Structure 1
Amino acid sequence: MAISATFDQLLRGGRVICPASGIDGIRDVAIRNGKIAAVQQDILPTSAKEVIDVTGKLVLPGLIDTHAHVYQYVTGRFGMNADMVGVQSGVTTLVDQGGPSCMTLPGFRHFVAEHAKSRVYAFLSAYLVGGLEGHYYPQLYSPEGVDIDASVKAATANLDIVRGIKAHAEIGGFARWGIRVIEMAAEIGRRADLPVYVHFGQLWGLPESGTNGEDVDTILERVIPLLREGDVLAHPFTRHPGGFVNREGEVHPVIQAALDRGLKVDVGHGSHFSYRLAKKALAAGIVPTTLGADIHGYNTHVPAPAGTPEQHEDDENHPFAGQAKFSLVQAMSSMMALGLTLEQVVPMVTSNPARMLGRADEIGALRIGGEADVSVIGERTGRFVLRDNENNEVVAERLLQPAFCLRAGARYDAVAPILPQAVAA
């Protein structure tokens, strides 16, 4: 009589790195009923219905992208398809940064979070209009466009998907309205007891009247005292004024003090990212906590299907013109090319973001009995050119590329059209 298999799937022979569990070595990962059933050496292949040979690959807890823009259609040309950025790019969990607001959250829940194959959370926009194309319509982002009570109510009533608040601290906003909008966002975070994720670096451009006496290099030191332990400083390596590196080329002295009192740093890579400035911040000991990719419709190009209008007719005119293709895994390669080790980078996309979201008991680990969210990553060695939006280049000797992921045990191959191709040096 045939003996039925114990497991549904077996990922066999890969290098398993799970910071939350302290595992780093060759292991097999067994899946049963969409859950992690075993992580150990030399599980019998005959014990599984399907054996997947992942020899030579990295097997990681499902990757978590802490900075996504996936409120498709509603946020104009910003919003990407969630599964293109998520499971089709080897990423199992996405955090939309500021797409939905207290007004538009029901649509985000119904049309994005509930329909995506990827797991989707959101940091609720502090602004009533959410993540519309604010660089075109900055007047929508004034203090009059913030409703503290409504935002707190929406956030606390939807804690299953709302895990933080998104705000902006940049010179265009300060020149128009001063610090008031950030004060309001910080109050929303305090009252909802959720982390506040703050964008630094120029975004909306200056009004016709100029800076109105505002100094971009004072924004950080004015905003940080409003924030609490667990709040997040985003875009540390931005090429725009107002980031961690000031106009004199020095890392702002308030940053280390902020980290010492429990604030966190998210890369928010995207088209803001500067290898030149990242090198300075890393040399000063500023190592990010989490690594959000910040992929949106302005820094990627997705070929339009035959017979449909081009998706980005005015790409050359938009303010964030950037690389044609990108992914969270490519952002991991960026950080390694800058000198961080793989062992430093993996927690930035697994255990650290799980803690940031208050979901460390559910995601970010290969935990026995937990949902089988697993990312399988290939690794190439050689010399590969990576380029930022300032046309700075770094050469990566190790290039990571997603192979596939499991989301609750279901397999999704990395077939997203936004995935970049390797360019040899």
Structure 2
Amino acid sequence: MTQVLLKGGRVVDPSAGLDAVLDILVVNGRIAAIGPDLAARETDAETIDCRDRLVLPGLIDTHAHVYQYVTGRFGLNADMCGVQSGVTTLVDQGGASCITMPGFRHFVAQPAATRVLAYMSAYLVGGLEGHYYPDLYRPDCLDAAATVKSALANADLVKGIKAHAEIGGFARWGLDVMKIAAKIGRDANLPLYIHFGQLWPKPEAGGLAVNPDSIFDQVVETLKPGDILAHPFSRHPGGFVEENGRLHPLVHEATARGLKVDVGHGSHFSFNTARIVLDSGVMPDTLGADMHGYNTTVPAPAGTPDSHPDEEHSFLGRSQFSLVSAMTSMLALGLPLDHVVRMVTSNAAKLAGMEDQIGTLQVGRGADISVLDDRRGRWVLEDNEGTKVVTDRMLTPLFCLRDGVRFNANSPSLPLAMAA
């Protein structure tokens, strides 16, 4: 019998109404007890002092890019983004396709210590180089029937479908790609995750004239309740904020219809845009780091492109960040801790259709637990526009338990805090 006793941490589990100093006893990889002043049942139990730490349900990153090597420089190592960053579950966004799903299962999901799930690409080629080659993403490069067949046959991994609503794509093909992607989502009975942004390079000639402010409402008309709108805090036109700097008038209607909002942080994140969206009363549901090889300091595979045509991906200088540092950004924007924790636990579990398995601390469940340092002081956060925000609270991952097995947060991609 193996036992781990987490002593005296601030246990925060919004789905269970928990926010108190408690102990958690883990026995044989499962949560055996939660309460004050628990004692180990065996003398050889490992006791971990969690005083002044946050003890949370295992964190779930809703926007990962971990089809390593197959997606060129874009895909990162799953465990680097996962358990080595204090995250127990990753949802890969659009790396695998109906053609490449067997390889994703065999070479990524199965060997990873992190739980790896997929929102499968609507496109036959998947996320090759993060859309570096836009001609691979035209309507002829989708096969709805094949994608639905693969999604249903891989239901343990495939929890949704990924598509893109981008200005370059609209200028080339209008709404055709989005209509096919929406059909895939309906036929597979899976949520569709929509990336708002730009498909690079945009056509210089021969494309349709596109009003960026018209994209949001056109896309929303194709979607069903439970589908996800990504990158609400992006500075790119064509999303939540119009070119006039105001919230798109249909955003509130979209969320009222049951569409969900995911903060894919990454290179798209803008504090200024976030302020507009939040001040307009829109609260995001989930949070993903959106780390990939063009915005994170990792060695690039030989022969891959030196840079990404999206200049936004280059602003961070291939810097370092993580899901937990994205949580710090949410706190700096004024979101309450309870909601930020929901974004990366219970709400994210619903996005994966696994709320009965992950995203909460419950006796009898597998022990997926993340432990974070929660410091007070003054630090500077910087976004992809160069906007700097001073925060008085900094979260950093210390370790996580994945089915009771401990992994220290030692990822080379974890950021170093910059003092104010």
Q: TM-score range by the shorter chain?
A: over 0.9
Higher mean C-alpha deviation, range 397-406 or range 202-211: 202-211
DSSP 3-state at the match of 1:159: coil
| 2:344 alignment partner in structure 1 | 349
| 2:306 alignment partner in structure 1 | 314
**Distance in 2 separating the partners of 1:20 and 1:76:** 38
TM-score (norm 2): 0.96
DSSP 3-state at the match of 1:188: helix
Matched, 1:267 2:263: yes
Q: In 2, are the aligned partners of 1:336 and 1:342 still within 8 Å (CA)?
A: yes
How far does residue 22 in structure 1 lie from its aligned partner after superposition?
1.1
2:74 aligns with one of 74, 78, 87: 78
* AA at the equivalent of 2:19: D
Q: Which runs of 4+ in 1 moved over 6 A?
A: 309-313
How far does residue 204 in structure 1 lie from its aligned partner after superposition?
2.1
Q: Deviations over 1:118-167 (max 9, x none)?
A: 00000010000000025431110000000000000000111000000000
Percent of aligned positions with the same letter in both sequences?
59
TM-score (norm 1): 0.95
| 2:280 alignment partner in structure 1 | 284
Q: Cα–Cα, structure 1 residues 101 and 325, in superposed 2: closer, same or farther, change >3 Å?
A: same
**Distance in 2 separating the partners of 1:312 and 1:132:** 11
**Distance in 2 separating the partners of 1:423 and 1:316:** 26
Length, aligned pairs only: 416
Q: In 2, are the aligned partners of 1:351 and 1:364 still within 8 Å (CA)?
A: yes
Where do residues 332-411 of structure 1 align in structure 2 (5 Å cutoff)? 332-411=327-406
Matched, 1:139 2:135: yes
| 1:198 alignment partner in structure 2 | 194
**Distance in 1 separating the partners of 2:159 and 2:339:** 24
Q: Cα–Cα, structure 1 residues 365 and 32, in superposed 2: closer, same or farther, change >3 Å?
A: same
2:13 aligns with one of 8, 14, 18: 18
Where do residues 84-123 of structure 1 align in structure 2 (5 Å cutoff)? 84-123=80-119
**Distance in 1 separating the partners of 2:387 and 2:294:** 20
DSSP 3-state at the match of 1:14: strand
1:30 aligns with one of 12, 15, 25: 25
2:210 aligns with one of 194, 201, 214: 214
How far does residue 354 in structure 1 lie from its aligned partner after superposition?
0.5
Q: In 1, are the aligned partners of 2:3 and 2:46 still within 8 Å (CA)?
A: yes
Q: What runs of 5+ residues in structure 2 fail to find an aligned partner? A: none
DSSP 3-state at the match of 2:202: coil
2:59 aligns with one of 53, 63, 66: 63
How far does residue 303 in structure 1 lie from its aligned partner after superposition?
5.3
* AA at the equivalent of 2:33: A
1:301 aligns with one of 297, 300, 309: 297
Q: What runs of 5+ residues in structure 1 fail to find an aligned partner? A: 1-5
2:37 aligns with one of 35, 42, 55: 42
Q: Deviations over 1:269-300 (max 9, x none)?
A: 00000001100100001110000110000110
* AA at the equivalent of 2:278: L
DSSP 3-state at the match of 2:217: helix
Matched, 1:150 2:146: yes
